[in-house]
A and B are shown apart, each in its own frame.
Chain A
């Protein structure tokens, strides 16, 4: 699934490792989500939204 994670991360000058640390997951997981190879679960998507103080729809793009 396409997403704006890389942009949101860049706006805050966070590295993948830094974001992974804030979410208590691995950097590899962040990379997989950013590149659209892995779609996170709803709880992780909410966690991301809370961290970036936005909504899930603002992070993940519904392409249907």
Chain B
């Protein structure tokens, strides 16, 4: 499957990859902006601090929309199926890791997994799952 490689695959796949990279780029950019701002300004007004702190989550909505658009635009049902399977594995594993982290924190005082890592974890697992799954059908 060429889904995560920008230079190959169908035009729909290339468009999806472009949108996902763009979303990741804005996510990092907004995170850096927020990090720098909160480092420099110690007690910002709530009406300004809250939207700025939540800003990195906006591109995540864009990524969800890009995924939805891909599933709608992709005419190759097998490729659609691969992505859906990858997303299912990612959902399952991410939920398991986060739940385990919660239990470990509550019962064994293990430091809890920071919530901002859940989204990157989800896509890492999705990417690995899709690569592994697609190798089965080469």
Contacts and interface: CB of A to CB of B under 8 A. Distances in A.
Nearest to B136: A37
Nearest to B77: A41
B136 A29 contact: no
A28 interface: yes
A6 B132 CA distance: 25
B34 to A, nearest CB: 40
Contact of A31 (B77, B81, B138): B138
Nearest to B79: A26
B75 A38 contact: no
Interface residues of A, number: 14
B138 A29 contact: no
Interface residues of B, number: 13
A40 B138 CA distance: 17
A37 B138 CA distance: 11
Contact of B10 (A26, A37, A38): A26
Query: Which of B78, B79, B136, B138 has the most C-beta atoms of chain A within 10 angstroms of its own C-beta?
Result: B78
Contacts of B77: 25, 29, 40-41, 44
A31 B77 CA distance: 14
Interface in B48-104: 75-79, 81
Contacts of B81: 38
B71 to A, nearest CB: 14
Interface of B: 1-2, 10, 75-79, 81, 134, 136-138
22 contacts: A24-B75, A24-B76, A25-B75, A25-B76, A25-B77, A25-B79, A26-B2, A26-B79, A28-B78, A28-B79, A28-B137, A28-B138, A29-B77, A29-B78, A29-B79, A31-B137, A32-B78, A38-B137, A40-B77, A40-B78, A41-B77, A44-B77
The 3 A-B residue pairs with the shortest CB-CB distance in the complex, in nearest-first order: A29-B78, A32-B137, A25-B76
